[in-house]
Amino acid sequence: MKSELRHAVHPGDAKRYTTDELRKAFLISDLFENDEIKIVYSMYDRLIVGGALPVTKEIKLEATDDLKAKDFLDRREIGIINVGGDATIKAGGVTYKLKYKEALYLGMGTRDVYFSSDDKKKPARLYFNSAPAHHPFPAKKITRGEADIAVLGNPESSNHRAVNKLLVNSVLQTCQLQMGMTELKSGSVWNTMPVHTHGRRMEAYFYFEVPEKQAVCHFMGEPDETRHIWMKNEEAVLSPAWSIHSAAGTSNYTFIWGMAGENLDYGDMDVRTPDTLK
């Protein structure tokens, strides 16, 4: 496993960052490497953002030095969403099959987690978020049909989208981790509009299904001090609790959102309308 540590950034510092400094602090690239698991340990609510790409062999989720634990999930929970070919996940002696855009939750204390692909020519690409946990909740696979789905926006405002709430408290119990997937309809490019912040939790976005030679412009920063980061397919970005998190793409796309913090209420948002942003 490969691990990287990211420190938290004060909003007063972030507004003075250059483009390169912003990207180094918040952007996460190259999550998928053949037969490897890569993680970024963030000091924002200690959320871990990771990617696993099993191709020719089964790979094990292990604790890194940053965790100071015997096993990865000794004091953590994890949510996994497959953005590639069919996957097999073994966890705690149970085998789960995960198809494209299906999710799996594993609770604190789960041992012996292994990832593999059913077809090495179409390998699984497993994106995951992990947060500290205080209680062991049962493992559960969530299919597209089991998601709590909300259709928001409209074509006229270019933000017609389906929000698939996969690992949220309306679907299953978790300690603090919540994850879902938002799919933009054809012709729509804006997500999370109107924008908001939520001081009770941080967030991470993972953009995928971004067409070749297209890009997504992710907006961040305080509502009165916004910044942007241009992102490619299969890149993730950290969003502190003080930051907005929204984007517009040069095409429609899909993204996975993951949250950690003290509030599990999905509707906990401090909204800012577009005309008030700076």
Select the more confidently predicted residue: 6 or 270: 6
Question: Which band of pLDDT confidence, cut at 50, 70 and 90, is reported for residue 76?
Answer: very high
Please determine, for residue 64, whether its predicted confidence score (pLDDT) is greater than 90.
Answer: yes
Identify the pLDDT of residue 269: 85
Identify the pLDDT of residue 268: 84
> What CATH number does the domain containing 113 carry?
2.60.120.10
Q: How many CA atoms lie within 13 A of 182 on its CB side?
A: 25
Q: Which residues share a beta bridge with 91?
A: 94
The least confident of 127-131, 206-210, 251-255, 271-275 is: 271-275
Over range 178-206, report the average pLDDT.
94
Q: Which residues share a beta bridge with 238?
A: 204
**CA-to-CA distance for 253 and 262, rounded, in angstroms?**
29
Please determine, for residue 193, whether its predicted confidence score (pLDDT) is greater than 90.
Answer: no
Strand (E) or helix (H) holding 25 = helix 19-26
Q: How many domains does the chain have?
A: 1
Q: Is 207 helix (H, G, I), strand (E, B) or coil?
A: strand
**CA-to-CA distance for 121 and 199, rounded, in angstroms?**
43
Identify the pLDDT of residue 203: 97
* 14 Ramachandran zone, left/alpha/beta (phi>0; psi -120 to 50): alpha
Find the radius of gyration of the CA atoms of the chain: 18
Structure tokens at 70: 């015997």
Question: Which band of pLDDT confidence, cut at 50, 70 and 90, is reported for residue 61?
Answer: very high
DSSP 13: H
Over range 213-226, report the average pLDDT.
97
Please determine, for residue 267, whether its predicted confidence score (pLDDT) is greater than 90.
Answer: no
Starting at the edge strand that comes first in sequence, how are the strands of the sheet with 216-222 ordered? 190-191, 246-249, 216-222, 225-231
Select the more confidently predicted residue: 196 or 263: 196
Please determine, for residue 270, whether its predicted confidence score (pLDDT) is greater than 90.
Answer: no
8-17: per-residue pLDDT in tens?
Answer: 999 999 999 9
Q: Is 167 exposed, middle or buried (0-12, 13-18, 19+ CB in 10 A)?
A: buried
Please determine, for residue 129, whether its predicted confidence score (pLDDT) is greater than 90.
Answer: yes
**CA-to-CA distance for 127 and 48, rounded, in angstroms?**
11
Over range 65-84, report the average pLDDT.
96
Q: What is the largest CA-CA distance in the chain?
A: 53
Would the CA dihedral through 196, 178, 215, 183 be positive or negative? negative
Contact of 63 with 102, CB cutoff 8 Å: no
Over range 66-74, report the average pLDDT.
95
134-176: per-residue pLDDT in tens?
Answer: 999 999 999 999 999 999 999 998 999 999 999 999 999 999 9
Over range 206-216, report the average pLDDT.
97
**Which domain does 202 fall in, by range?**
2-6+13-276
Please determine, for residue 191, whether its predicted confidence score (pLDDT) is greater than 90.
Answer: yes
